[in-house]
Amino acid sequence: MASGIKAMFGMAPKDDGEGGFTPSPVALKLATKSKTDYDHTEYPDALQGGTAKVLMVCTEERYMTMANGVKFSTGNHPVEMMVPLLHLEKAGFQIEVCTPTGAPVKIERWAVPEKDDVVTDALQRYQPQFEQPQSLKALVAAGLEDHADYLAVFIPGGHGAMLGLPESEDLQTLIRWVNANDKHMLTICHGPAALLAENRGGDPRDFAYHGYKMAVFPDSLDKLTPKFGYLPGPMPWYFGDRLREQGVEIINKKANGSCCEDRKLITGDSPDAANEFGKLAARALLAEVNGAG
């Protein structure tokens, strides 16, 4: 009866025809926008030549099995990927895409801002990299010491960032390389869940980001969203709780566009943070390069 009432009022998740569910019509109206707030900021000190790179680590997994056994059709959130990427491009950085094994990037296509030509054009430009990304496993196996031109690692959000990445030994190696070589880590919304790979359940005192502040998507909202059909059931686990257990201080209680810069870790809480997060990341990397020069 309850599911029938939800369907009547547009609050039931939609069957994707492949064994999973996407958000309900009501959830899409509440949680997605047809146009982003990307503001086309120009960077007078932008780099020239495209030799400085940012490695974007994406998910290759589509389905999250919820606590009730129902599958949520997810991936990386397109706004959280592309709006920061556009700022990094404007600042002169080259973006390289990888997934854990080199399998295609999974994107939450239902969240694409269809009336935002700049974002949809960028998605189209990067489609070849999304279809044939680099393999993180191969990068790590070959050795990261030859990649000094990677100034930062960027892990976009979407619930897909919680799939495979937090348990990845290769991502653990990459994160430790980032910190050992004084690089920047950039991650937004659910992306910080992937940082758990650095310690993979070890002693919180050994976690590289123990004592750091972060802006992340609140667990409280993930607990609320099944009520209006964004998620088809309760989450299998809550990454904010796990980060707190590892000694992280989460600065936001709402998804209100908060960003946080703590040492060389830059985080943002949601798609609403993507524009400011992108600018913060671009300016921090430019300051790093120009300061070093």
Is 260 among the catalytic positions?
no
Residue 281's Cβ-count burial label (10 Å; 0-12, 13-18, 19+) is buried
Enumerate residues 6+ apart whose C-beta is below 8 A from 127. Answer: none
Distance CA 78, CA 261 (A): 22
Enumerate residues 6+ apart whose C-beta is below 8 A from 125. Answer: none
Pairing relation of β-strands 14-15 and 21-22? antiparallel
Cβ atoms of 185 and 153 within 8 Å: the answer is yes
Distance CA 200, CA 205 (A): 12
Cβ atoms of 186 and 266 within 8 Å: the answer is yes
Distance CA 234, CA 61 (A): 19
Choosing from 58, 189, 259, 260, the catalytic residue is: 189
Q: What is the dihedral of CA 179, 182, 183, 186, to 10 degrees?
A: 60
Which residues form the catalytic set?
Answer: 189
